[in-house]
């Protein structure tokens, strides 16, 4: 049975694919050995020659794959495409010139190498149309389109090789699923291409941005060839869906950009001519090249799977296929949007060392990481004038949405740190680049570190009797230089308040921690801020209970996964009603998204939210 399998088409193809992988890997290893693992990043694009070399070595092997005289010939026009890529890489020219050059190579491939769209299936009918000379022109256009688009997508090294690898595997799967409609040459070529391209995704990280264009042209050209010899000749429109879907994402993005432009003015469109592709928009929005590669390959994988499903549905009615495409499009776009927004992006700071202030559902939040928040607090302490810091979690934001007085207090605070997964989630959905969360507990520890370093003291107010003292001791164990100006529980009577205020004023701490629960602590701080004159006053909720050791904090992995709230509710079921804030913030965020579509440009969105928060 094994012998049968090995001698079957599948065995042969699997062996060839393995060989292609090994070959690609070996070439990669040679390159690494020559340039070193962390060797100089190069502008010289090796993906094109490596792909061609891998394919050439496979084709010259006797009896490898189905006999096909014209396949090795594909490599000649592909090499021409590489030269075109090189020339335009060194001497950039308008896209029309590049298009014409690629079109001419497409004509050569169609005319002399037999890679040709010869027939086309009539939609909704079983008849085929012989294309004749039109087929040659169509082929040239098709190949030029693929080469051009992949060349452009090569701004992010790894995109052409990755998309070609996934596309090649998809073509192969389609050929195997519908052997009656496809050709063995097509299946073979698609698998070879996938094998040759897959290892190069890893090579790509050694290329500088923009250095991979010529390889992108070659790979795009080869994907175009694979789509034609694989199935297009026979299944015409059906398989055309696959590459169109693969390149559809950038085209869709370009279309959206146009629409966005059109909302402005016609003149602006004429001036800007911003036909940007998806990856270009993503880079502008602050995603790293690595993230863009992940996004594009993820999207491609989704589209490839959809293409395979469509092939499986080939015999069902057109209406059902259309429905499947519609459902997949809506689900895919929603998923794409959510994944995109969830990906962390570096926080951009506003002018100077001022942290960027954004508006989340009308409530102010600063886009700061913990070190940035602490640097800001240190500045406040050095200025020695009263400042208020708010740590804002989902329930805090929801309360601010409902309670205008509390909202006003938060919006007037000098620093509002994002605390909690709900806030980060909502911000990211709204295209506001908040990064890690600054939890209340970490804030207390961090601020104590700052105070200790500056030789200043902190005052702990709040919690049940004895808790603040216990927390103070723990903090002093961690920071031996820390001075505790005073401790006071949070259950003092109204008539004792003047005494509490007097004590704080007298001891002159640099930081006043107030743990009375949201929103009481913030209201209390606002009311007494100027009178107390403490440089930094911050509401910290139940942090003293945790720091004192009376309550356990969620394990680090839960904090990292953003599900600390789950742990707190499991420990204290009475907190369950507060959980309502999480679904509420998500629902309100989506409502906000539907009400006001976010600008394409994140800089625009930040500017807008800054204006809103003023
Ligand atoms: N608290 C207080 N005085 C009060 C009410 C509450 O000191 O009158 C304390 C309470 O002991 C607890 C903290 O305030 O330590 C509130 O904790 P919770 O976890 O409810 O606050 P959150 O972080 O959720 O705002």
The pLDDT score that the predictor gives to residue 445 is 97
290-339: per-residue pLDDT in tens? 888 888 888 888 888 887 887 787 777 878 878 888 898 889 888 888 88
Q: How confident is the model at residue 1 (pLDDT cuts 50, 70, 90)?
A: very low
Q: Is the pTM of this model over 0.75?
A: no
The structure tokens listed for 149 are 């688009």
Interval between CA 47 and ligand 1 midpoint (Å): 60
463 pocket-lining for ligand 1 (C-beta < 6 Å):
yes
Query: How far lies 168's CA from each of 109, 154, 213, 272, 545, in Å?
Result: 19, 17, 20, 36, 58
CA 78 – CA 109 distance, rounded (Å): 9
539 pocket-lining for ligand 1 (C-beta < 6 Å):
no
468 pocket-lining for ligand 1 (C-beta < 6 Å):
no
Task: Specify the DSSP class assigned to residue 312.
Answer: H
The structure tokens listed for 325 are 């495409």
515 pocket-lining for ligand 1 (C-beta < 6 Å):
yes
The structure tokens listed for 376 are 């800001």
Contacts of residue 117, Cβ cutoff 8 Å, sequence gap at least 6 = 110, 131, 135, 138, 139, 142, 228, 232, 233, 236
CA 257 – CA 268 distance, rounded (Å): 12
3-state secondary structure of 207: strand
Contacts of residue 352, Cβ cutoff 8 Å, sequence gap at least 6 = none
351, part of any domain? no
- Rounded to 10 degrees, the C-alpha dihedral 180/186/188/192 comes to -150
Interval between CA 495 and ligand 1 midpoint (Å): 20
The structure tokens listed for 307 are 């293409």
The atom of ligand 1 lying closest to the CA of 521 is: 14
- Judgement on whether residues 178 and 229 belong to the same structural domain of the protein: yes
154-209: per-residue pLDDT in tens? 777 788 888 888 888 888 888 888 887 777 777 878 888 888 888 778 766 665 55
420 pocket-lining for ligand 1 (C-beta < 6 Å):
no
Mean pLDDT of 248-268: 51
The atom of ligand 1 lying closest to the CA of 545 is: 15
Whether the per-residue pLDDT at 238 is higher than 50: the answer is no
CA 63 – CA 73 distance, rounded (Å): 16
- Beta bridge partners, 457, equal 483
- Ligand 1 atom 11 nearest Cα: 463
Q: How many residues does the chain have?
A: 614
48 pocket-lining for ligand 1 (C-beta < 6 Å):
no
490 pocket-lining for ligand 1 (C-beta < 6 Å):
yes
Interval between CA 237 and ligand 1 midpoint (Å): 65
Range with the poorest average pLDDT among 39-43, 85-89, 213-217, 530-534: 39-43
Locate tokens 């709204």: which residue? 430
Whether the per-residue pLDDT at 443 is higher than 70: the answer is yes
Q: How confident is the model at residue 215 (pLDDT cuts 50, 70, 90)?
A: confident
- Ligand 1 atom 10 nearest Cα: 463
479, part of any domain? yes
545 pocket-lining for ligand 1 (C-beta < 6 Å):
yes
The pLDDT score that the predictor gives to residue 24 is 60
The atom of ligand 1 lying closest to the CA of 396 is: 25
The pLDDT score that the predictor gives to residue 613 is 44
Task: Specify the DSSP class assigned to residue 42.
Answer: B
Residues of the chain with pLDDT > 70, as a percent, come to: 74
CA 567 – CA 544 distance, rounded (Å): 17
Among 542, 548, 581, name the best residue to mutate to test ligand 1's pocket (greatest count of ligand atoms within 8 A of Cβ): 542
Whether the per-residue pLDDT at 270 is higher than 50: the answer is no
Domain encompassing residue 505: 368-594
Label each residue of 99-110 as H, E or C.
Answer: HHHHHHHHHHHH
| Number of domains making up the chain | 3
- Judgement on whether residues 176 and 120 belong to the same structural domain of the protein: yes
- Judgement on whether residues 88 and 228 belong to the same structural domain of the protein: yes
**242, HSE (Cβ side, Cα atoms, 13 Å):** 33
Contacts of residue 128, Cβ cutoff 8 Å, sequence gap at least 6 = 119, 120, 121, 122, 236
- Judgement on whether residues 562 and 418 belong to the same structural domain of the protein: yes
Whether the per-residue pLDDT at 27 is higher than 70: the answer is no
Among left, alpha and beta (phi > 0; psi -120 to 50; other), residue 130 is beta
The atom of ligand 1 lying closest to the CA of 490 is: 7
396-420: per-residue pLDDT in tens? 999 999 999 999 999 999 999 998 8
Whether the per-residue pLDDT at 235 is higher than 60: the answer is no
Closest-CA residue to 362 (of 421, 415, 426): 426
CA 513 – CA 415 distance, rounded (Å): 15
Mean pLDDT of 211-218: 73
The pLDDT score that the predictor gives to residue 240 is 46
Q: How confident is the model at residue 390 (pLDDT cuts 50, 70, 90)?
A: very high
Whether the per-residue pLDDT at 606 is higher than 50: the answer is no
Q: How confident is the model at residue 260 (pLDDT cuts 50, 70, 90)?
A: low
Among 462, 466, 519, 523, name the best residue to mutate to test ligand 1's pocket (greatest count of ligand atoms within 8 A of Cβ): 462
For the chain, the average pLDDT equals 79
542 pocket-lining for ligand 1 (C-beta < 6 Å):
yes
- Judgement on whether residues 256 and 117 belong to the same structural domain of the protein: no
Interval between CA 520 and ligand 1 midpoint (Å): 9
3-state secondary structure of 390: strand
The structure tokens listed for 550 are 């009376």
- Judgement on whether residues 156 and 204 belong to the same structural domain of the protein: yes
333, part of any domain? yes
Interval between CA 454 and ligand 1 midpoint (Å): 29
What DSSP element (H or E) covers 538?
A: strand 536-539
Interval between CA 463 and ligand 1 midpoint (Å): 6
298, part of any domain? yes
- Judgement on whether residues 241 and 275 belong to the same structural domain of the protein: no
Interval between CA 539 and ligand 1 midpoint (Å): 10
Mean pLDDT of 111-127: 71
Domain boundary among 247, 278, 303: 247
Interval between CA 498 and ligand 1 midpoint (Å): 21
- Judgement on whether residues 457 and 422 belong to the same structural domain of the protein: yes
Mean pLDDT of 583-592: 86
Domain boundary among 227, 247, 267: 247
- Judgement on whether residues 317 and 448 belong to the same structural domain of the protein: no
Among 515, 539, 540, name the best residue to mutate to test ligand 1's pocket (greatest count of ligand atoms within 8 A of Cβ): 515
Whether the per-residue pLDDT at 459 is higher than 90: the answer is yes
Interval between CA 489 and ligand 1 midpoint (Å): 10
The atom of ligand 1 lying closest to the CA of 440 is: 23
- Judgement on whether residues 416 and 470 belong to the same structural domain of the protein: yes
What DSSP element (H or E) covers 537?
A: strand 536-539
56, part of any domain? yes
The pLDDT score that the predictor gives to residue 509 is 97
3-state secondary structure of 281: helix
108 pocket-lining for ligand 1 (C-beta < 6 Å):
no
Range with the poorest average pLDDT among 97-111, 275-289, 498-512: 275-289
Mean pLDDT of 354-366: 87
Rg (CA), the chain: 31
- Judgement on whether residues 197 and 283 belong to the same structural domain of the protein: no
- The answer to whether residues 392 and 415 touch, using CB atoms and an 8 Å cutoff, is no
546 pocket-lining for ligand 1 (C-beta < 6 Å):
no
Better pLDDT: 538 or 369: 538
518 pocket-lining for ligand 1 (C-beta < 6 Å):
yes
- Judgement on whether residues 127 and 25 belong to the same structural domain of the protein: yes
């Amino acid at each position: 049975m094994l012998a049968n399998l090995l001698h079957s088409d599948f065995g042969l193809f699997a062996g060839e694919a393995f060989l292609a992988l090994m070959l690609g890997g070996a070439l990669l290893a040679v390159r690494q050995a020559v340039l070193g693992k962390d060797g100089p990043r190069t502008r010289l694009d090796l993906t094109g020659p490596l792909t061609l070399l891998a394919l050439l070595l496979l084709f010259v092997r006797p009896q490898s794959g189905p006999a096909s005289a014209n396949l090795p010939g594909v490599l000649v026009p592909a090499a021409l495409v590489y030269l075109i890529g090189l020339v335009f890489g060194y001497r950039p020219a308008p896209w029309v010139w590049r298009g014409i050059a690629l079109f001419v190579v497409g004509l050569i491939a169609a005319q002399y190498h037999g890679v040709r769209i010869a027939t086309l299936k009539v939609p909704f009918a079983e008849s085929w149309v012989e294309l004749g000379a039109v087929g040659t022109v169509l082929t040239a256009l098709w190949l030029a389109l693929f080469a051009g688009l992949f060349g452009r997508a090569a701004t992010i090294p790894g995109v052409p090789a990755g998309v070609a690898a996934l596309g090649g595997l998809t073509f192969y799967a389609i050929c195997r699923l519908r052997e009656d409609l496809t050709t063995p040459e097509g299946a073979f070529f698609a698998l070879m291409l996938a094998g040759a391209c897959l290892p190069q995704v890893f090579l790509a990280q050694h290329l500088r941005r923009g250095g991979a264009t010529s390889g992108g042209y070659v790979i795009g050209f080869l994907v175009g060839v694979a789509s034609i010899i694989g199935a297009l000749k026979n299944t015409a429109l059906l398989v055309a869906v696959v590459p169109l879907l693969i390149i559809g994402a950038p085209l869709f993005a370009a279309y959206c950009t146009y629409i966005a432009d059109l909302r402005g003015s016609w003149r602006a469109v004429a001036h800007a001519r911003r036909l940007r592709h998806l990856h270009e928009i993503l880079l502008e929005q602050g995603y790293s090249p690595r993230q863009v590669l992940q996004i594009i390959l993820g999207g491609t994988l989704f589209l490839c799977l959809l293409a395979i499903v469509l092939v499986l549905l080939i015999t069902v009615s057109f209406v059902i296929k259309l429905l499947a495409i519609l459902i997949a499009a809506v689900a895919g776009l929603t998923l794409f949007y959510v994944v995109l927004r969830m990906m962390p992006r570096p926080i951009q700071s506003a002018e100077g060392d001022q942290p960027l202030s954004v508006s989340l559902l009308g409530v102010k939040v600063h886009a700061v990481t913990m070190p940035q928040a602490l640097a800001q607090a240190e500045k406040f302490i050095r200025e020695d004038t009263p400042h208020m810091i708010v740590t804002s979690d989902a329930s805090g934001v929801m309360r601010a949405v409902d309670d205008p007085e509390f909202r006003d207090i938060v919006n007037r605070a000098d620093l509002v740190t994002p605390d909690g997964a709900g806030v980060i989630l909502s911000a990211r959905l709204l295209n506001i680049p908040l990064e890690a969360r600054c939890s209340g507990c970490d804030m207390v520890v961090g601020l104590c570190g700052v105070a200790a370093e500056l030789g200043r003291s902190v005052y702990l107010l709040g919690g049940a009797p004895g808790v603040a003292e216990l927390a103070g001791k723990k903090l002093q164990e961690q920071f031996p230089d820390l001075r505790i100006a005073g401790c006071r529980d949070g259950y003092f009577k109204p008539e004792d308040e003047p005494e509490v205020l007097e004590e704080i004023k007298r001891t002159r701490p640099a930081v006043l921690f107030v743990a009375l629960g949201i929103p009481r602590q913030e209201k209390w701080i606002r009311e007494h801020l100027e009178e107390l004159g403490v440089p930094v006053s911050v509401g910290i909720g139940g942090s003293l209970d945790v720091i004192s050791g009376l309550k356990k904090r969620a394990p680090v992995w839960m904090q990292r996964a953003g599900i600390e709230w789950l742990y707190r509710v499991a420990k204290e079921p009475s907190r369950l009603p507060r959980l309502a804030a999480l679904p509420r913030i998500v629902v309100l965020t989506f409502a906000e998204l539907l009400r006001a579509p976010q600008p394409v440009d994140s800089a625009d969105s930040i500017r807008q939210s800054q204006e809103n928060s003023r």
